[in-house]
């Protein structure tokens, strides 16, 4: 029988790549689509899967709509990728972030418990839960210390997934994903902000790139690699939580060097520091330990940071060329 999957956040970066991945596996894919604003489906179009994903109305903040979606689709697997996912915005909109990112996950878990307890559930956890790091390299056993409303909300969702697994025997897994990027990343995220600026600078339509703390270190991987890990978690005999990362950390500064060097430019001539982009509570370094995922899932990152940044610059060069024609 054809497996069915329901994805929240289906129009986001990970939702699009996961849709493509599951469709290639022969799944019937449903996407929960909030109608609070004009929906954007350009990522699904970019991957040529928009007409293959069945979009249904629903909202993480409305448990009734989630319950209906579960009853209508009867999914075998549910992937909760929906959230208010921009860290900077979480300080300006902490209640919205808590509602969508934290309580939204609980709404799904409770709806699953009531009407589809046999479905397998994936929760998109995040390295931002580690925040003020308690160990140099973060694993599944590292204590959490979130430093933003986003990180705190994700931690609530993470522990609720553990709680429903242990209390109600829900097959729930959390993937503690470190930063993962792609040509489908939103322009508000630093990697895409950089690669877009590189493309515009190379093509002569921009001359400055304003950034905040360029000495912050992150563990960056490719979203297309990471969605495979999500699926692999739900294929195991027993549910568990996994850190998904590359095991390599790089400063924003060095990421800028890679991007600008790729098109033959010196980043120092274009990058300026703007205090407006500093966070109220900074996370200085994140470095994931993916040993458990490699040992138990057989997963490891395939795409290097250099390959990822080059891929993103190439995509942005094509986008900007189309804009200025």
Q: Which residues contact 92 (CB under 8 A, 6 or more apart)?
A: none
Q: Which helix (H) or strand (E) holds 224?
A: helix 223-233
Given a contact cutoff of 8 angstroms between Cβ atoms, the answer to whether 142 and 178 are in contact is: no
Please tell me what DSSP assigns to residue 143: P
CA separation for the pair 288, 208 (Å, rounded): 32
Residues 6 or more apart whose CB falls under 8 angstroms from that of 11 comprise 31, 33, 39, 40, 41, 43, 44
Q: Considering 28, 77, 110, 128, which one is annotated as catalytic?
A: 128
The answer to whether residue 307 is catalytic is no
Q: What CA–CA distance (Å, rounded) separates 153 from 102? A: 5
Find the angle CA(322)-CA(14)-CA(215) to the nearest 5 degrees.
80
Residue identified by tokens 């027993």 is 238
The single residue of 150, 164, 226, 267 carrying the catalytic annotation is 150
Phi/psi of residue 52, nearest 5 degrees: -105, -15
- The phi-psi region of residue 303 (left if phi > 0; otherwise alpha if psi is between -120 and 50; otherwise beta) is beta
126 is catalytic: yes
Choice among 8, 11, 73, 126 that is catalytic: 126
Q: Which residues of 103-124 are buried (b: 16+ CB within 10 A; e: fewer)?
A: bbbbbbbbbbeeebeebbbbbb
DSSP run (H or E) holding 164: helix 149-168
CB 178 within 8 A of CB 123: no
The packing angle between helices 13-24 and 223-233, to 10°, is 60
Active site (annotated) includes residue 191: no
For residue 86, give both structure tokens. Answer: 């921009």
Catalytic residues: 126, 128, 150
């Amino acid at each position: 029988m054809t497996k069915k999957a329901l994805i929240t956040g289906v129009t986001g970066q990970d939702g699009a790549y996961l849709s493509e991945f599951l469709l290639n596996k022969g799944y019937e894919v449903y996407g929960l689509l909030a109608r609070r604003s004009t929906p954007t489906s350009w990522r699904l179009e970019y991957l040529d899967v928009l007409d293959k994903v069945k979009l249904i109305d629903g909202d993480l903040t409305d448990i009734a709509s989630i319950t209906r979606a579960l009853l209508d689709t009867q999914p075998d697997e549910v992937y909760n990728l929906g959230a208010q996912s921009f860290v900077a915005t979480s300080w300006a909109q902490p209640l919205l972030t808590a509602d969508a990112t934290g309580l939204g996950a609980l709404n799904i878990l409770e709806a699953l418990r009531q009407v589809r307890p046999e479905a397998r559930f994936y929760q998109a956890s995040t390295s931002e839960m580690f925040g003020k790091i308690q160990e140099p390299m973060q694993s599944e056993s590292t204590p959490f210390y979130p430093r933003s409303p986003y990180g705190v909300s994700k931690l609530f969702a993470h522990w609720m997934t553990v709680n429903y697994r242990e209390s109600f025997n829900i097959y729930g897994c959390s993937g503690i994903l470190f930063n993962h990027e792609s040509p489908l990343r939103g322009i508000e995220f630093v990697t895409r902000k950089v690669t877009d600026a590189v493309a515009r600078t190379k093509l002569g339509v921009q001359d400055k790139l304003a950034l905040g703390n360029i000495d912050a270190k992150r563990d960056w991987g490719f979203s297309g690699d990471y969605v495979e890990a999500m699926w692999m978690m739900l294929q195991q005999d027993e549910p568990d939580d996994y850190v998904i990362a590359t095991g390599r950390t790089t400063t924003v500064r060095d990421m800028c060097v890679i991007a600008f060097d790729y098109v033959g430019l010196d980043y120092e001539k274009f990058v300026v520091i703007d205090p407006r982009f500093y966070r109220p509570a900074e996370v200085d370094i994140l470095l994931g330990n993916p040993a458990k995922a490699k040992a138990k899932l057989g997963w490891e990152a395939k795409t290097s940071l250099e390959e990822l940044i080059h891929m993103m610059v190439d995509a942005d060069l094509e986008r900007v060329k189309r804009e200025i024609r």
